[in-house]
Structures are given as C-alpha cells and as structure tokens.
Amino acid sequence: MPRAATTRTTRTAGTADPLRATGARTSASVLTGAALLAAALTMTTTPVPAHAAAPVPAGTGKYVALGDSYAAGAGIPAQSAGLCLRSDHNYGHLVATALAPSAYVDETCAGAKVSALTAPQTDAGIVVNGPQLDAVTPDTSLVTLTLGGNDLGTSDVGFVDVVLACSGLAVTDPLGTPCRDFYGDTLSRRLDSAAAHLTDGLRRLSSKAPKAKVMVVGYPPVLPDDPTTCLGRMPVTTGDLRFLRSVLGELNEKLAGTATAAGATYVDTLTPTKGHDSCSASPWIEGLLPTSPAAPLHPNAVGEHAMAEAVLRALGR
C-alpha cells in the first residue's frame, strides 16, 4: 500500500515484579543470552530523526493509532519519532491510506506498556512520548491499539526480554524446560495485571471519545505451533518454545476478553498470519537475527500489511 501521512508531529521532551534468579548459574546464563543478541537489537532499533508529513485527505473522520512497537512498525523504513521508532508502513498508516480519514494521528511508540495510555513514556528519565490517550478527542471516530506484549517483561522490550532469558537458560538444561521452570506462573500474573490496566484504559478512552469505534488488535504468531520448526533458528529448548507459544496464546486470549468486556472489537491477527512466524520459510515476523528491516521478533513490512488487512476486514472493508 502507498504511504499514508500523519496530521501532526510527535511530542518529544522531555508494577514490575521481576523474578529473582535461582543462583549464580541461572543469572549468568540469562546475561549470556542477552549479550549474544544485544548487537541485533541495537542494529535494528537505532532511532532516526522525525520527518514531516502531509495531511491525509478528507474521509471518514479522525483516526488515532495507539500501541507499542508492533503497532509502530519498529525497524521498518521509513522510521520517525525518535525512540518511538514509528514506520510510515505500520498497520495504522496502511489502514489510514485505505480509509482516508479527515485526520490521522499516530501515537504508537516502541517500548510502550499498557500504562503508556495514561502516563508519559520515558527512557533514561527523558520523556519520549506523552500519554497516548491525550491524542483521543471527542471527534475521534476510530481508534486502534496493540498493547500488552511489553508487560510480559521487566524491560521495554517485553516478550523479547523473556526470549533473551530463555535463550540464556537453555544452556543449563538443553533437553528440559528451564525457562518455564524459571518463570512459573509469573508471566500469567503479569498478563492479568496488564488486562486490568487495559480495562481501565479502555474505559477512559470511551469517556474521551464515546462515539469512537475501538479496535484492540492482537499479536501475530511470533512462534509456531510446532516448535521443531525452530531447530537451528531459535536458541531456546523445544519444551520452552511450547511454553512461550502458550504465553503468546494467553496474551491474545486476555486481550480478546478485555476488548469484548469493554465493548471494543478484537482483531485477530494470528489466524491470517499463521504459517509465517519467525521460524517459517516465509516469515512475516522476523527472527532474533532479522533478514528484513524490522526489529527482532517483530513484524516486517509484509507482516504489518497483513495486520492492516485484518483491521480492514474487521471494519467490513
């Protein structure tokens, strides 16, 4: 799809429950996994300066895109908004191109947790993005958001943070489930907390724009149903790949339940992208070492296009 434009530039300015490692060996393994992948994460998420944009043609009404790096299109050219890593080919821009709203505002930001809906997002004490709900006004007619994945981790890279830990732990028990043993039910509890905060955020959103159609967009299949396809592609044990895949499924289930309870529409992006996970022969979600411009374990341009198509189908387009 061609590039859609934004109607304003980004504002820039300026309860975690971390697990304790069970011994020096485990801690060292986690750090080893992080070190092995640090270079990939750095290369694919280097911020670039924001760029100006032309107005979107008059159309449906004001459309506001909210969310994290999956909504921002982190690593996909062309990037803008500094550390928020917004792409002009993220799914929000592609949906805006198809709908031609009278105004389009992109508040997506890499690293955003659910709390970013109502609180400024900071990095090293510097505000990189204001509260995302500030962009929602009474004249807003459509809102899309993808949030919750970053709440799985204790850092701003969320699920990637968890995979890094699992990669390091794999060397301690290559045939077992050291990552599942390490986390236990912690990730489920983090998702419960994220869902509760999202419920509050959706209530606030509805209050700010009571006539807006709100669409909670789920996450695509980062990992496959069959973990054996990741052999040689992902440094995580087969048992832990099953565990991580179940966590992603739980994330989408809780997002769907939260959306339905709040009167919003849940958009399934897993089904239409199945078979194109990070371990597939034709990935729409990149692996830990991306081969197309995108952040590790994030949708590439084809993946963002598929997510946009899922949103448009849910809108009856």
Question: Which residues does the annotation mark as catalytic?
Answer: 69, 298
Cα distance between residue 30 and residue 153, in whole Å? 13
Q: Where are the beta strands (DSSP E) in 138-232?
A: 140-146, 213-217
CB atoms within 10 A of CB 36: 15
Tell me which amino acid residue 93 is.
Answer: H
Query: Considering only CA atoms, which of 49, 51, 66 is closest in space to residue 3?
Result: 51
Beta carbons within 10 angstroms of residue 105's beta carbon: 24
Instruction: Tell me which amino acid residue 152 is.
Output: L
- Return d(Cα 220, Cα 106) in angstroms, integer: 20
Angle at which helix 91-99 crosses helix 301-314, to 10 degrees, equals 50
Give burial (CB, 10 Å; 0-12/13-18/19+) of 18: exposed
Q: Give residues with Cβ within 8 angstroms of 196, minimum separation 6.
A: none
How far apart CA 310 and CA 267 sit, in angstroms, is: 7
Neighbours of 179 (CB within 10 A): 28
Count other Cβ atoms within 10 Å, centred on residue 87.
29
Cβ atoms of 84 and 127 within 8 Å: the answer is: no
